[in-house]
Amino acid sequence: MTTVPIRSLTAVLDTGRTLLEPALRDAVDLHLGPEMSGIARYHFGWADAEGRPTGTWGGKMVRPTLALLSARAAGAEAAAGLPAAVAVELVHNFSLLHDDIMDGDETRRGRATAWTVFGVPSAILAGDALVTAATSVLMSAECAGARSATLALMTATQRMIDGQAADAEFERREDVTLAECVRMAGDKTGALLGSACALGADLLGAERHLVERLGAFGEHVGLAFQLVDDLLGIWGDPDQTGKQVGADLRVRKKSLPVVAALDAPGTDELHALYLRPEPLTEADVRRVTELVERAGGRDWARGEADRQIIAAKECLSAVDIPDDVRGEFQEVAGFVVGRRL
C-alpha cells in the first residue's frame, strides 16, 4: 500500500532539473576546455552561438531524473546520485551531437544543431569531449560503486553505438528480421535508459539484485518508448508529433511495425513496394500504411509495447524500494512511453 504521497511528474522532473543543471554546468566547466565548453553550452541551450547566456534550459532530463531516483531506490538522498545523473546526461548528449552530424539534421529542439553553427570537426570533438567527461565525472565520485558504475555506463554506451550502427546498416539491407530489429532498438534506446535507472544505485554500492532489476525496468521502458515512437511515426497525429503523416514510411525506415509486417507471410505486395528503389508516391505511402496494418504490424507493436510496460512494472515490483520512489519511477516511465500519444 502506498502511504507516502507520490509527487506529480512536473514536481519530479523539476527536482531533477534543479539539482542537475548546476552539477552539469560544473562538469562542463571542470572537464572541458574553453572552446569545447562553449559548444557544449550552446548545445545544452545555456548560451547562444556567441556564448551569451540564454534563458532557461530546454532539456527534459528524463535520464538524469531516473538516475537520481535510482540513488533514492538505494536508500540515499537524490543528490548522492548526481555523478550518475550528470554522466548519463553527458553520454546522451554526446550521442545527440554525433547523431545530428551523421543524420545531417539541421535543427534540434527548435535551434540550429551544433555542427551547423560550429562546423563538423568542432562538433565531432565536442561529442568526444562529453563522453570523456562522463567517465571522469563518474570515476571522480568517491563512492563504493564508482568502478562498477563506470563499467556499466561504458557497456551501455557501447551498446548504444552498436545500435546506432545497426540502425544505419538496416537501411541498406532487405533481409532484416524482427528479432534483429528488436535487438537494435534495445541497444539504441533501451541500453542507456536502463543504465540511467540502475546507475545511481550501482554507484552507491547497492546489492546486485536491485541494480539489475532497475536496469531491466529501464530497458523495458526504453523498448516500449521505441515501439510507441515507431507507431507514431506512421499513425501519429502530425499536430502532436510534429512530423508529417507517414514520415517514417516515406524514408522507408525499417521501424518495428514495418519489420513485423514484412516478417509476416503473404506480404509480397508490401515487400515489392517498400523495398524497391524508386521514391514512394503519396498513394504508395497510404497503401504501405494499409498493408502494414493488414499484416498485423500495428497490432503487434501495440501488443509488444503493452508487454514491455507490464514487464517493466514486474521489475519494479520485484525490488524492495520506498513506495514514493516506486511511484515516481512509474510517473517518469509513463511520461517516457506516453508522451505525444
- Within residues 195-234, the interface with a second copy by CB under 8 A covers none
Q: Is 109 helix (H, G, I), strand (E, B) or coil?
A: coil
- Which residues touch 118 (CB under 8 Å, ≥6 apart)? 39, 42, 49, 126
Q: Pick the binder of a second copy from 62, 80, 146, 316 (CB under 8 A).
A: 146
323-338 helix and 9-31 helix, angle to the nearest 10 degrees: 80
Least CB distance to a second copy at residue 315 (A): 25
Tell me the C-alpha distance between 259 and 264, whole Å: 9
162 vs 269 by CB, closer to a second copy: 162
User: By rule CB under 8 A, what count of residues binds a second copy?
Assistant: 43
Q: Does 135 bind a second copy (CB under 8 A)?
A: yes
Q: Does 179 bind a second copy (CB under 8 A)?
A: no
Least CB distance to a second copy at residue 40 (A): 12
DSSP string, 205-218: T--HHHHHHHHHHH
Q: Pick the binder of a second copy from 14, 15, 108, 122 (CB under 8 A).
A: 122
- Within residues 69-98, the interface with a second copy by CB under 8 A covers 94, 98
Cα–Cα distances (Å) from 319 to 207, 210, 211, in that order, read 11, 6, 9
Q: Pick the binder of a second copy from 121, 303, 322, 338 (CB under 8 A).
A: 121
Q: Does 41 bind a second copy (CB under 8 A)?
A: no
Stretch in the footprint of a second copy (CB under 8 A) among 46-54, 61-69, 148-156, 255-263: 148-156
Q: Does 47 bind a second copy (CB under 8 A)?
A: no
48 vs 103 by CB, closer to a second copy: 103
- Within residues 260-279, the interface with a second copy by CB under 8 A covers none
Q: Does 157 bind a second copy (CB under 8 A)?
A: yes
Residue 10 — left, alpha, or beta (φ > 0 → left; ψ -120 to 50 → alpha)? alpha
- Which residues touch 330 (CB under 8 Å, ≥6 apart)? 313, 316
- Within residues 101-120, the interface with a second copy by CB under 8 A covers 101-103, 120
91 vs 258 by CB, closer to a second copy: 91
Q: Pick the binder of a second copy from 9, 23, 47, 125 (CB under 8 A).
A: 125
Find where cell 537520481 sits: 68
Q: Which three cell numbers stand for residue 152?
A: 556499466
Q: Which three cell numbers stand for residue 207?
A: 546489492
Q: Which of 99, 65, 202 is nearest to 144 (CA)?
A: 202
138 vs 178 by CB, closer to a second copy: 138
Element (H, E) at 67: helix 62-73
Tell me the C-alpha distance between 189 and 223, whole Å: 7
121 vs 338 by CB, closer to a second copy: 121
Q: Does 136 bind a second copy (CB under 8 A)?
A: yes
CB-based burial, 271-299: b 16+ in 10 Å, e otherwise: eebbeeeeebeeebbebbbebbeebbbbe
Q: Does 54 bind a second copy (CB under 8 A)?
A: no
Q: Pick the binder of a second copy from 23, 112, 154, 247 (CB under 8 A).
A: 154
Angle at the Cα of 198 (from 195 to 202), degrees rounded to 5? 115
Cα–Cα distances (Å) from 149 to 130, 195, 199, 207, 297, in that order, read 17, 9, 6, 13, 37
Give contact residues for a second copy (rule: CB under 8 A).
Answer: 31-36, 94, 98, 101-103, 120-122, 124-125, 127-129, 131-133, 135-136, 139-140, 146-147, 150-151, 154-155, 157-159, 161-162, 164-166, 168-169, 187
